[in-house]
Amino acid sequence: MKLLRFGEAGSEKPGMLDADGNIRDLSGVVADIDGALFSGPDMDKLRAMDPTSLPLVEGNPRIGPCVANVPKFICVGLNYTDHAAETGQPMPSHPLIFAKATSAIVGPDDDVVIPRGSEKSDWEVELAIVIGKKASYVSEEEALDCIAGYCIANDVSERSYQFDYAGQWTKGKSCDTFGPIGPWLVTPDEVADPHDLKMYCAINGHRYQDGSTNTMFFKVAHQISHISEFMTLMPGDIISTGTPPGVGAGQNPQVFLKPGDVMELGIEGLGTQRQTCVAWSR
């Protein structure tokens, strides 16, 4: 099942993708695609539903973030062995976690704003986990049962803010529009193995990232279990699980985003994103 949200920013409606790739309107069935849906009885109703019984959405509406009202946006850094190698850093002994502000979340094809004064904005295609039920001190054996679905996240990052402005990585990760998610939430039954998905990110048609989740070091179940030791994960929370090699900071010479650049990224079975970078303005 592929769930999505469509319409103007701030007024999105819930939808479902049918087998032919058409958007079907779910607004007469559920209020939104969010934690309240994932943790309630309506998910079973949706699983049993024939998408063709729902109203067809005509045209090509804007696709919004695939999850609404996200409580927490947690990211895991340096989690791909080949990405750690390109940065020249050793693999951490435990998952390296940081927060990304939920105000950074935008739709998968919305513009990305290069922040005022930024010279080192960068891209990161990532597999994101969406939590489906409350999780505290869960074991790795229980962890996969806590997943509502998977989606693509672009963990856009300003490297100078991240490393040069004393503090945690959150400064470089949380600028407005730095968290495109979607286009849709794919339920676990459609993802045979989250650790065997091809993924890529191209800038202006040049593919810089061309990797796979099979080089992920801390696996999905371990990440959920580990993070749940330090905070209760709530329905609707997002965990972005790390990026493969090929980020701009890893190039020689380094390459960073500028207004007018176009990012195109995708993960096998989870769809694609396309963002145009624009200059900051009041």
Q: Which segments within 205-258 are labelled E, that is strand?
A: 206-212, 238-240
* Residue 236: predicted pLDDT: 98
Percent of the chain with pLDDT over 70: 100
Shared domain for 188 and 146, answered yes or no, is yes
* Residue 43: predicted pLDDT: 94
The answer to whether residues 123 and 156 touch, using CB atoms and an 8 Å cutoff, is: yes
* 168 pLDDT above the threshold of 90: no
DSSP string, 99-122: E--GGGEE-TTS-EEEPTT-S-EE
* Residue 83: predicted pLDDT: 87
CA distance 187 to 17: 12
Shared domain for 132 and 271, answered yes or no, is yes
The answer to whether residues 126 and 151 touch, using CB atoms and an 8 Å cutoff, is: no
* Residue 200: predicted pLDDT: 98
130: tokens are: 């969406």
Structural domain containing residue 32: 2-53
Is 28 inside a domain boundary? yes
Is 64 inside a domain boundary? no
* 270 pLDDT above the threshold of 80: yes
Task: Report the amino acid identity of residue 17.
Answer: L
- Read off the pTM: 0.97
Is 96 inside a domain boundary? yes
| Total of domains in the chain | 2
* 167 pLDDT above the threshold of 80: no
The strand pairing partners of 75, in sequence order, are: 98, 240
Task: List pLDDT tens digits, range 175-200.
Answer: 999 999 999 999 999 999 999 999 99
CA distance 175 to 161: 10
Task: Please report how many Cα atoms fall inside a 13 Å half-sphere around the Cα of residue 97, on the Cβ side.
Answer: 20
Which CATH number goes with the domain that contains 180?
3.90.850.10
* Residue 205: predicted pLDDT: 98
* Residue 271: predicted pLDDT: 98
Shared domain for 145 and 90, answered yes or no, is yes
Burial of 16 per CB tally in 10 Å (0-12, 13-18, 19+)? buried
Shared domain for 27 and 124, answered yes or no, is no
161: tokens are: 């803010």
- How does the average pLDDT of the chain come out, rounded? 96
* 88 pLDDT above the threshold of 90: no
| Residue 201, C-beta contacts closer than 8 angstroms, at least 6 positions apart | 123, 124, 125, 154, 207, 208, 209, 246, 263, 264, 265
Q: Give the pLDDT mean for 150-163.
A: 96
Task: List pLDDT tens digits, range 31-78.
Answer: 999 999 999 999 999 999 999 999 999 999 999 999 999 999 999 998
Shared domain for 40 and 129, answered yes or no, is no
- Consecutive H or E run containing 19: none
Percent of the chain with pLDDT over 90: 93
CA distance 32 to 201: 29
Task: List pLDDT tens digits, range 204-246.
Answer: 999 999 999 999 999 999 999 999 999 999 999 999 999 999 9
- Under DSSP, the state recorded for 239 is E
